[in-house]
Amino acid sequence: MIVTLIVACEVGFWLLLAAGLSLRYLARMPRAGIAVLLLEPVLELVLLIATAIDLGNGASADWKHGLAAVYIGFSVGLGHSTIKWADQRFAHRFAGGPPPVKPPKYGMARTVHEWKTAGKWVLSAVVAICLLQAAAWYVGDGGDTSSLRMWQTRMLWVIGINVVIALSYTIWPKEPKKAPKKDAGAEPVEHHETTRS
């Protein structure tokens, strides 16, 4: 049931997103569109309640409950930026809005962008870890929480990888490729024409 509910939440997320943006830009009903988009967190709340009920009914904490916690965590950390990403493209395509803002490519601006991106992933992983810990406490010492701990370890890897990537842009900031310099000291070669006698 939990896996089916996770899939339903993911499908529901994109359906609500499409409906909200369509109301906002195609139907010219911005308030109704925002109201629909604000329903997105309800999906995660339903999943959270269903997971808690399943565990409360005596179900063994396994990978499905861990996956539910991870899904909710990533919805919290990445959901808003995903909606913003889709909103920019929808507005540009259907409402004459400006082109989507592209991330910077070089220098300090790129470094800041990488840290902001890492921050979203770290937030997602931290929320997931907290939910997994809450589930472990809910199950108690008498239950098997090894699957939940496994998911927590994976989330620590997610945090570490994203911090390393952002740190690499701090230590080695990406710079544009420089055009090859011409040798200023080189003298132009004169070409002499020869004629046959």
Q: How many CB atoms lie within 10 A of CB 98?
A: 8
The answer to whether residues 139 and 145 touch, using CB atoms and an 8 Å cutoff, is: yes
Using alpha carbons only, what angle is made at residue 133 by residues 128 and 137, rounded to the nearest 5 degrees? Answer: 150
20-67 confidence digits (pLDDT tens) = 999 999 999 999 999 999 999 999 999 999 998 888 888 888 899 999
Nearest-angstrom CA–CA distance, 192 and 174: 47
User: pTM here?
Assistant: 0.84
71-104 confidence digits (pLDDT tens) = 999 999 999 999 999 999 999 999 889 999 899 9
For the cut 80, the answer to whether the pLDDT of residue 191 exceeds it is: no
The residues near 34 (Cβ < 8 Å, ≥ 6 apart) are: 20, 24
Taking every pair of Cα atoms in the chain, the longest distance, rounded to a whole number of angstroms, is 108
Exposed/middle/buried for residue 182 (C-beta within 10 Å: 0-12, 13-18, 19+) = exposed
131-177 confidence digits (pLDDT tens) = 999 999 988 877 788 999 999 999 999 999 999 999 999 999 888 88
User: How far, rounded to the nearest angstrom, does the alpha carbon of residue 139 sit from its chain's CA centroid?
Assistant: 30
Nearest-angstrom CA–CA distance, 116 and 41: 22
Domain boundaries, the chain: 2-171
Task: Identify the pLDDT of residue 195.
Answer: 44
Nearest-angstrom CA–CA distance, 171 and 137: 40
The residues near 43 (Cβ < 8 Å, ≥ 6 apart) are: 9, 12, 13, 16, 75
